[in-house]
Amino acid sequence: MSLWLAILLVVVVIAVIVLIISSKKNKGLGSRVDDESMRTCKNCSKTIAEDYLKSLCPHCNKFLI
């Protein structure tokens, strides 16, 4: 009887570890997607190239926030 309890405990622990690892992976992928996403102008909501370093939007010539 104690053997079955031990097996059940191990299965529960493994399930919890797998859940924690999968949730961490999902969060990591989400932040990576945010980092790789293009910048957008908040005035005209058009996309701006990541290597565009000027402080003025090339589409509406307003300051990028």
Report the residue from 38, 43, 53, 55 that binds Zn ion according to the rule CB under 5 A: 43
Rounded Cα–Cα distance for residues 21 and 40 (Å): 32
Stretch that binds Zn ion, among 1-9, 10-18, 25-33, 35-43 (CB under 5 A): 35-43
Q: Tokens for 9?
A: 């405990």
CB-nearer residue toward Zn ion: 27 or 46:
46
Of 47, 36, 39, 42, give the one whose Cα is nearest residue 62.
42
How big is the site for Zn ion, counted in residues (CB under 5 A)? 6
Binding positions for Zn ion, rule: CB under 5 A:
41, 43-44, 57, 59-60
